[in-house]
Each structure stands twice: as structure tokens, then as C-alpha cells.
Amino acid sequence: MTNSKKKIWNGNVRDAALSILLEVANNQAYSNLLLHKTMETYSIAPKDRGLLTELTYGTLQHRMTLDYYLQPFTRGKLDKWVRELLRLSVYQLVYLSKIPPHAVVHEAVEIAKRRGHKGISSTVNGILRSILRQDVPSLDEIEDDITRLSIETSHPEWLLRRWINQYGKENTIAMASRNNMPPTMTARVNTMKATTEEVMEQLAAEGFQVSKGEVVPECIRVSGGNLAKTAAFTNGLLTIQDESSMLPVLALDPKPGMSVLDMCAAPGGKTTFIAEKMKDDGKIFAHDLHDHKLSLILSSAKRLGLESIETQSGDSRKLTEIYPASSFDRILLDAPCSGLGVIRRKPEIKYNKQESDLHDLAGIQADLLDTAYHLIKENGIIVFSTCTVDQVENMGSVSEFLRRHPDMETIPLNNLVNDAEAMKGDMLQVLPHHFDSDGFFVAALRKKKSER
């Protein structure tokens, strides 16, 4: 963080949240990574971490709504940091009933004094006090249904119209509303080291509220603390991972002794799950475009006690230059995508994406799938997955692949989840409100044996 670094040192949680919001706005940084970095680098006290997370995510999630509330009270151009400070303050006034309004105004004015000058602090004070006197405008004043839904849920109109076209209005409202709720913390038990029940008992003894996941046997749902600081995590008994993100590995169905390729592997959650499913017997070749991310995979493997994983960086579209044709029993392609299924974890995605971005990725996905086709054995399985909910990126990419390669067939995945709404033919499209997880797409594709 640039000139705002010193502000965080004063221990003010609102200053820290403002610095994160500015970094997101100025550099399109990911809020989840910045939050973690801020907490660790500046030793944010445990009692303040919840508030910092709430302020950061809440202000980002409701940005368009907050701008609508601010619009009648602001005149002329505001510096970026002033607008972010006002958004942060109005979020507290409207959404956080436990914080007294006078405290919100006082903190905002003090931050404005430290970051700006007396004139700016007077402006901030005047705007916030006017809002307290007059209240924010009602959303009912917006006549158009889509525009009102857009402002109410803080999702761009183009995205809502696209979702309505693909999933209907009811699912769109449910999805957009769920995107503004905190994500559920889930973890995957390393069954090579412990049973799900044993890990649940350990975490309960440390004060966590723990329950079983909705669909994945190895998944547990957790609240009440920081899982990464537990003995169970340190000792390799679990991996923090969203439940939907575990489904591609179940679809892959890896067995001990197999040769498996993970084409876009970092940060390694699925890679290590594959190794656990294989009882660490066989070989997993984990590739990623970014060399610096491979250390994440290796450190996770070491913590979990896994030795069957090899890593290598480079463009996975060129893997046919490294491996002979028909080299692998299983291939996982967790493909680059728009990320529209993980808006709860990265709220800024919904503001940073354009509709054209969704089509730009189709070519990359096609090239990666064609590479996987050449490297999979006969009767082998390719799993194509994404963390988006867009049908063009998902079913569209798979349909085009099947058209290009008629010797490939889909494998029904209706045994993976008990929610019929998530099934799209043989393929699986989880929406955030189906079982309170990330939006995720999974398709399993088998190469048919050639007739000789």
C-alpha cells in the first residue's frame, strides 16, 4: 500500500479498511488477499479482525447502493479517497446498527483530517450530518425493475440481464442477494491422516462450531475463529477450501497408481485433494502459468504429508511439447474464467468485469481443452471446471469441445449433488444459493475407445 501505509500503523481499523478499499479501486487488487496481508503485516488485533473484514467487504459489496445513497448529498468532483471514506461511513450508518452514528461521523472526520486538510474534514462532516438529518433516498423511487435490482443488490445491469436470460429472474435475485452475504468457511479433511469425525472433535475442543458439509463427504463447515491457526491445520489434517471447489476432484475420480495432470493447478487445493484421493500412490503433474505460485502447491503438499506431486511452470497450452500423446489417465482443467461464481469472496469482480471479457476467455479455454484431448488416454477422463456461473464460459465451451472431438462423451454427474436444479444435462452448475457455496461448474468428459 502506497502513501496510506503509515495510516494503518496507528491501529485504526477504519483507516486500514480505507487503505484496502483504495488499493482495490486504484490497482484492481483482490480484497481477500489484501485483507489477509493487512492483518498479518500490521498485526491487526484478533478482536478487530472481524470489524475490518465487515467494513471492507460490506463497503465493496454495496458500493453501487452506497453511491445511490450519497448522490443527493455530494456536489462536484471528490478525490477518490474522500469518496471511499464516505462510502465506508455510509455503510456503517445504514448497515451496522451496533455502531453509534456520532461515532461514525467522528471517526470519518478524524481520518479526513489526517489524510487531507481542514476543508476536506468539514466537507465530510457536512455530508454525513446531512444524511443523518434527512436520511438516505428510498430505493422505491427507482421505477425500472432491473435498474432498481441493480442498485439494490449492487450488481451491474448488464450482468443481471445476462443472468436473467440464462437462469430466470428468481435465480438471479437469489444469486445477487447471496453474493452480498459473508461466505461460509469450509475445509476439507485429509482422510489419509484422520477421519472427518476426529477433526470435527478437535476443532470443537478449540471452540469452533463445526458441522458436516452439504455434499462432499470430506467437507466440514466451520465458524468461530481462524482455521489457519489451529493445530489441525498445522498438522496437515485439513485444507481450507470451498465445498464447490472440491467437486471437480470427485468428478475426476482418481485412483491409486494413476498418472494425473492438473493443468492450471495453483494454489493447489484440488491438486492436493487428488493426491489424497489417490492415497499418495501414483503421480500428479501440477502445472501453472505463474512460477511464483508453485511454492504454494509444494508447501501445502509438505504440510499434508504428500509426496506424489511434481510442479512445473509454463503455458499449459503447450504441454504437448513436454508430454507424449495419451500420457494421462486423468486430466483436471480448472480453467481461467471470469470468476463470477466467487463474487462473495472478491466483491470487486462484479465492477471490474465487462461483458466482452467473458467471450475473450473462450479461445484460451478451447486451446487448453484441445491440449487435454491430445494428452488423455483412451477411456481416460478430462474434468473441465470453472468458478463462474456464465453459461457461455461453461456449457458453451464444453459444447464446442464436443463438436470438435466427437470421440469424447460426457459422464453424468447427478451422483455428486442432491440438488436437481444444479444439474444441466450431464453437467453440474452450482449457483451460490444452491448449498451456500461458491458458484462452480463441472463437466466430466471421457475419451471413447477407438474401434479397431
- Report the catalytic residues: 387
Could you tell me whether strands 282-288 and 258-262 are parallel, antiparallel, or unpaired per DSSP bridges?
A: parallel
CB 217, CB 247: distance < 8 Å: no
The grid coordinates listed for 216 are 462432499
What is the spatial distance between Cα 76 and Cα 378, in angstroms, rounded to a whole number?
65
Residue 228 corresponds to which cell in the numbers above? 489457519
Residues 212, 217, 218, 219, CA torsion sign: negative
Instruction: Find residue 330's DSSP bridge partners.
Output: 260, 381
Cell 441493480 found at:
150
Torsion angle of the four alpha carbons 332, 390, 440, 255, in this order, in degrees rounded to the nearest 10: -20
C-alpha torsion 396→398→399→405, nearest 10 = 150
**How are the residues of the chain apportioned to helix, strand and coil, as percentages rounded to the nearest 5?**
50, 15, 35
- Give dist(CA 316, CA 99) in Å, integer: 50
Q: Which residues pair with 186 in a beta bridge?
A: 221
Question: How far is Cα 105 from Cα 301, in angstroms, rounded to an integer?
Answer: 48
d(CA 369, CA 375): 10
- Phi and psi, residue 428, nearest 5°: -120, 125
Question: CA-CA distances (angstroms) from residue 43 to 39, 292, 382?
Answer: 5, 25, 43
Query: Are residues 297 and 268 in contact, defined by beta-carbon separation less than 8 angstroms?
Result: yes
- Work out the end-to-end distance of the chain between its first and last CA atoms, rounded to an integer number of angstroms: 63
Q: What is the C-alpha to C-alpha distance for residues 427 and 448, in angstroms, rounded to an integer?
A: 18
